[in-house]
A and B are shown apart, each in its own frame.
Chain A
C-alpha cells in the first residue's frame, strides 16, 4: 500500500482508526487539534460509527473517554499540555480505576511556547499518575504506537499516555498503515467495583497499580521503542528521548553516531538498559524535549555518580525546543550558521484578521474605559488575546482558560471597581461559567464581556458548545436579565454600543455584555463552501 503523507497528529488519528477506535474526545488546543479533526473527517471512521466529539473542556472529554473504556470499547482523549491541567482530576484517578477497553490519553506539549502560556512537560503527569507513557520519535512511530498503546492498555487494564510535541504534531511524513482491527463489543468490567473509588476500593486499586509498576518497567525493557545502539566510543553514552534522537543523528554522516545511544520511546524508563549504558560509559548526555525529567532521575539528589550532561548543567539550554544545532554545540561539533538576519527585518507578530468582530469590540471598550482608566481588563485564552498587542493594548491579563472572570472578581474584592473580564464564547463554556456563578453569588461589581464569534476561532474554527446558549446560561447562573446585553459589534452601531458598555461598567453588580458576530474566517469558509455546493448542484442539474 502507498504510504500516506500525514502530520504527526494525523498519523495518531489514522492509527487509532485502524486500531479499532470507538470514540475520540477532545477540546481543541494547538498542537493537538488535528487529531480529532482528522477522525471527524475520516470516511472510515464515519462508516465504523466512531464517535468523534469536542467536549466542553478537557475534563469532560477525559471523563467521556473513561466512560467508553468502562463499557469495554477503545477510546482516545486528546488535549494540549495545559489542557491536561484541566483534565488532571479525571486523568490521575483514571490510573486508580484503571481502564477496561483500551484508553489512550494524548497530551501535546509545546516546548518553546509556539502557541501556549507555558512549556510544561506532560511526562511528569504520566509519571505522577504511575502509568506507561509512549513518546514517538517520528510520524510512523506515532502511528504504530497507537496500536501498541491500545494493546498495552488492554493487557494491563490501564490508561496509557502518549506524549508528543509541536514539532511532531505539525510535521508531515510518509506513514505505512497496518492491518485494521475490529472495534470491541460492549463488555462490562469483570469487577463491577473497579470504577468505584470509595476509599476501601481505592486503596485496593492503588495497591494494584503500585504492584503493576514492575511489569510496566519490564514492558519498557523489552519495548521495540526503547532501543540500545552500541557504538565504540564509550567516553560518552547518550540517552535520546523521542524526537531528540533525530536531531542527534542529523549531525553525523550516514547518521552514524560514534557513541552508544539509548533511544527512549516508552516509560517508565527501562532500568536494565539505563544501567547497562551507565556502567559501560564514562559519562552520559541526556537529550530530551521539555523538562529534564530523565536527567533528574539519573542524576539523583546527591548527583555523586559519573558526570551527567544535559539541561541542568547548561550543556543544553534549560528552556526551549531542541534542534540539531543545539545538539551539535553540546557535542562540540561544528555549529554552522548562514548569514545573519539583516537589521532591517522587523518582527511580524500575529494580528486580528481584517473584519474581525473583536477589533470593533476592543475599540469600543477602550473608549468606554477612557474615563475609568487603564489596567482593569482581565482577559483569557483565544484570538482575542491579541487585544494585548498594538494597536489595541486593551487587556491586562491572560493566564488560563476562564481566569478572566474569576480574576476580575478577585480584583473587585480587593476594591478595584470597576473590573472587566473579556472572554470568548467557547472559553466561557470551557471554564468561565463556574467563575461567573462565583461572581453572582458574591454580587461582585464586575462586567463580563463574552465575545461571541460563534466558534472556537484560534484553533481553526471548531464548533463552540456555547452556540445559541449564552444568554440562557448567564440568566440561569443568576445574572439579572436586564444586565445581559447583546451588541452587534459594528462601527455603525457605535454610539448605542458605547452607551451600553458605559452603563454596564457603571452598574454595581454582575453584568454581561455579549458582542455577537460570526468569526470572519468561519463565515468566509461557509460562504465558499456554499458556493461550491451551488456549483455542484448546478452542474448536476
Chain B
C-alpha cells in the first residue's frame, strides 16, 4: 500500500488538520508516514501545500516526485490546480469549490471549474456550504476529508477513530460535528462516483 497525497490550500485554512487526521489513522494501522509542511512566511495568506506520504514500506523522500501523486486534496479550487504537475495520470483531485479570494486577479470561477471538470477523475464540492447547512461552518475541512476518504485505502473506521482522538479534548459535541462532516463529505463523493 502506498498513497502520495498533496494537500493544498491558503495559509490559515487549516490543511494541517486534514493531514493530522490522515496521519493519526495511518499510524494506528502501523503504516510509515512522511509529511512535509510549509511554515513561515507563506502561512500569511499565501498558497500552502503539504506533501503527505503513507506506505506499508519505508518511505525515502519527504517530497513526492512530480507526476506521481495519487491524489490532490484541496480546500480551495484555484489552489487545487496549482499542483497538477504533481498528479499522476490515474490520480484523483478532490477539491472544495468555495473560492478564497484575497488577490486582485483571482480568475473567474467558471474557468476554474472548467479546468477541474476537464480532469478524468475529480470530486468537486462546496464543503463550506455543506458544513454551514450542518450548522458547523468550521468543519469544512472534515467534509473535504470525507470526500477524499473513498480513495485513501485507509479504513473509514480508522479515520473516525482518528477524529475522536484528535478532538477528544474539545468535548463530545465537537467530535460528533466533525464525524458528521466526514460522513456528509463521504456520502456526497460516493453519490458523485456512482
User: Residues of A with Cβ closer than 8 Å to B?
Assistant: 3, 5, 7, 30-31, 33-34, 114-115, 167-168, 170-174, 243, 246-247, 249-251, 255, 323-325, 328, 335-342, 344-353, 383, 386, 390, 458-460
B34 contacts A114, C-beta separation under 8 Å: no
Kindly identify which residue among A243, A345, A349 contacts B82, using a CB–CB cutoff of 8 Å.
Answer: A345
Closest chain-B Cβ to A149's Cβ sits at a distance in Å of 22
Residues of B within 8 A of A383 (CB): 44
Q: Closest A-chain residue to B23, C-beta based?
A: A5
Kindly identify which residue among A33, A243, A352 contacts B62, using a CB–CB cutoff of 8 Å.
Answer: A243
B35 in contact (CB, < 8 A) = yes
B103 in contact (CB, < 8 A) = yes
User: Given the complex of chains A and B, what is the CA–CA distance between A247 and B62 in angstroms?
Assistant: 8
14 contacts between A and B (CB under 8 A): A30-B39, A168-B62, A170-B36, A170-B39, A173-B34, A247-B63, A251-B65, A336-B66, A344-B81, A344-B108, A345-B82, A346-B105, A351-B44, A459-B40
Closest chain-B Cβ to A418's Cβ sits at a distance in Å of 29
Q: Closest A-chain residue to B61, C-beta based?
A: A250
Kindly identify which residue among B41, B91, B111 contacts A338, using a CB–CB cutoff of 8 Å.
Answer: B91
User: Residues of B with Cβ closer than 8 Å to A?
Assistant: 10-11, 23, 27, 32-47, 51, 58-63, 65-69, 78-79, 81-82, 84-89, 91, 102-108, 111-112, 115, 119
Closest chain-B Cβ to A375's Cβ sits at a distance in Å of 24
B60 contacts A351, C-beta separation under 8 Å: no
Kindly identify which residue among A30, A172, A250, A340 contacts B41, using a CB–CB cutoff of 8 Å.
Answer: A30
> Given contacts A255-B58, A338-B85, A350-B41, could you give 14 more A-B pairs where the C-beta distance is less than 8 Å?
A5-B27, A30-B40, A114-B41, A115-B39, A171-B37, A171-B51, A173-B35, A174-B27, A323-B61, A324-B66, A336-B65, A341-B81, A342-B84, A344-B115
Interface of chain A, main secondary structure: loop
Kindly identify which residue among A170, A171, A350 contacts B11, using a CB–CB cutoff of 8 Å.
Answer: A350
Kindly identify which residue among B40, B79, B89 contacts A115, using a CB–CB cutoff of 8 Å.
Answer: B40
Residues of B within 8 A of A346 (CB): 78, 103, 105-107
Residues of B within 8 A of A345 (CB): 78, 81-82, 107
Residues of B within 8 A of A324 (CB): 61, 63, 65-66
Closest chain-B Cβ to A358's Cβ sits at a distance in Å of 11
Q: Closest B-chain residue to A167, C-beta based?
A: B62
Kindly identify which residue among A171, A250, A341, A348 contacts B36, using a CB–CB cutoff of 8 Å.
Answer: A171
